Amino acid sequence: MSAAKTALLVIDVQRGILALPNLTRKKEIDQALDETVLCIAGLIEKARTASVPVIYIQHDGSPGHRLEPETSGWPIRTEIAPRPGEPVIHKRACDAFFETTLGPDLAAAGINQLVICGCMTQYCIDTTVRRAVSLGYDIILANDGHMTADTRTLPFEQIIAHHNALLDGFDAGKHEVRVCPSSEIRLTRRVSDLGRRS
């Protein structure tokens, strides 16, 4: 297998991403989000150390949305803030490729593998992962590096566990998704990989 040129894609880790109304477990959700951000910060540090590109996706919500541009919820969280020169791509839909420069930017850089983390699991993470595979990228999803909030029917823990199980091995042709803990993701300048499946 030829070496993959990898980028780390950090999706929608913004101050107001889980500031949803009527959350009954807000304390637990906020704590879990903080822990997820720590995992993401670790991936970012590994990527920067290895000169692997870090690409941020930032959602621009419509007027009145919790992620409306230039409101308090819109900025990327300070713990993982982009450094000068690290691209921030703006989107308005769950799919980070839809009507954005992400695809052309990745093509221009010769990137063919993505390590993905961020928010929210069942929306922007799931949609972007599936779209990326169909476009010909191999994906590594950090199973402890994405987060969401409770819904009316499911707690966030079940949503995350379901998507980790569902997406692991999801493929399109010869390209696939692998799901693993952030601690097992090894980032190097040219190759990001895990131990091969047995």
Domains of the chain: 6-193 (3.40.50.850)
Per-residue pLDDT of the chain (198 residues; tens, 9 = 90+): 456 799 999 999 999 999 999 999 999 999 999 999 999 999 999 999 999 999 999 999 999 999 999 999 999 999 999 999 999 999 999 999 999 999 999 999 999 999 999 999 999 999 999 999 999 999 999 999 999 999 999 999 999 999 999 999 999 999 999 999 999 999 876 545 543 443
Q: Give yes or no: 180 in active site.
A: no
Q: Of 39, 117, 119, 124, which residue is the catalytic one? A: 124
How many C-beta atoms lie closer than 10 Å to residue 168's C-beta? 14
Break the chain down into helix, strand, coil percent, rounded to 5. 30, 25, 45
> What residues have CB less than 8 Å from 88, skipping those under 6 apart?
56, 57, 58, 76, 82
